[in-house]
Amino acid sequence: MQAKEIKKDIYWVGVKDWNLREFHGYATPRGSTYNSYLIMDEKITLIDGVKNYMSSEMVARVKSVTDFSKISYLVVNHVEMDHSGNIPEIMKLAPQAVIITDNAGKMALEAHFDTTGWNYHIVTTGENISIGKHSLTFMTTPMLHWPDSMMTYVKEEKLLFSNDGFGQHLASEALFAHEYPLDLVINEAKSYYANILFPYGAQAEKALNTAGSLGLDIEMIAPSHGCIWSGKDEVNTILNLYAKWASGKNEGKAVVVYDSMWGATAKMAETIMAEFQDAGIPVTKHCLTIENVSEVMVDFLDAAYICIGNPTLNNQLFPRVAGFVTYMKGLAPRNKKALAFGSYGWKPGVVKQIQQIYEELGWQTVTPFECKYTPKDKVLIELRERVQELIKL
């Protein structure tokens, strides 16, 4: 379990979770990594921990470079358990280490663990700490995506330890993004943003602006998950993508999401898709029978139009549709135009529950569209007309 040097005297000492396939309902088919970093200097500094069950692997990597008794600082950028799970063990191995975090981080650590005897240095945005030839600058980023979140910048190396920002749930032999197919890394970064940071676009924009106001010249971004972005081209690519995603701007695309029992709602979904295509609008269609909700949400980042279809079951939303709209509502996409549609057997009105969620999100909508049993040609023509109304909003 050897550490890997990413800059002179700065090492990756994290772990790779090859078997992870789900994270809070978010599908992670490529696993994930929990990145921890070690800075060798006059005051040796460890950046973040890992999940508790992978602690021994991380500890071995640190020991391949130095002894825990020599560590002066432990920077805690985030207290969620995939970052902090083994911090109690770290503090047993390095009781002399001072924890650097923000006020919210200290409170979260004390809520999670027995912190008796732990010493803290509480930091705020713009504060600097010298550890020898390196200096650390801190930037608090509350609600990106927890209240305690912050980032740490090493000025001399133009290196940003970005916490959850710019990360990907991706386990690979590659340590750097350019060592892996870059389009796949970007796709995983997009999925990560869509499923974790989507509700916090304003906070992401603020973080980008704060980095600019602090004059941070960034040539490497080392996130807590996935590959490291190295070099100006890669760094600018991901920074520009985050600026775009955080803005809420779309590319005029449409997304149709549905489930179906006997094919009626599926037929409606196909008709809606065809109408968008005939109008020259790029469209993707997702059936919840076969797709995870997190796969669907990636397309919401770029979409202008959202159409969600439900097959009524026991006068309620179909379970997979109900689960999806709950998941989607929590991620709070902005600036969408939407249609709720569906089928029923003996009692209409259930799609109004989807319409209500649209309204709560502040989206522009047209009247929901429902069909009894299998839609006939006349009904499908009416449905096309409803989609035309949506396009004209």
Could you say which of 83, 145, 169, 286 is catalytic?
Answer: 145
Q: Is the dihedral of CA 20, 22, 24, 26 positive or negative?
A: positive
Long-range contacts of 66-71 (CB under 8 A, 24+ apart): 66/38, 66/40, 68/93, 68/94, 69/93, 69/94, 69/96, 70/44, 71/44, 71/45, 71/46, 71/96, 71/97
Could you say which of 83, 134, 169, 225 is catalytic?
Answer: 225
Could you say which of 17, 37, 41, 78 is catalytic?
Answer: 78
Could you say which of 80, 205, 270, 291 is catalytic?
Answer: 80
Q: Provide the 3-class DSSP secondary structure of residue 340.
A: strand
Could you say which of 17, 82, 188, 370 is catalytic?
Answer: 82
Give residue for tokens 């909700």. 293
Could you say which of 164, 234, 259, 302 is catalytic?
Answer: 164
Q: Do 284 and 315 contact (CB within 8 A), yes or no?
A: no
Cα–Cα distance, 124 to 203 (Å, whole number)? 16
Between strands 337-344 and 364-365, the pairing is parallel
Residue 156 token pair: 């001399």
**164 assigned to active site:** yes
**114 assigned to active site:** no
What's the one-letter identity of residue 234? E
**83 assigned to active site:** no
Q: Provide the 3-class DSSP secondary structure of residue 338.
A: strand
**127 assigned to active site:** no
Could you say which of 24, 173, 183, 377 is catalytic?
Answer: 24
- Cis preceding-peptide flag for 145 (omega within 30 of 0): yes
Residue 132 burial (CB < 10 Å; 0-12/13-18/19+)? middle
Q: Which residue in 137, 131, 132, 84 sits closest to 107, CA to CA?
A: 84
**225 assigned to active site:** yes
- Catalytic amino acids? 24, 78, 80, 82, 145, 164, 192, 225
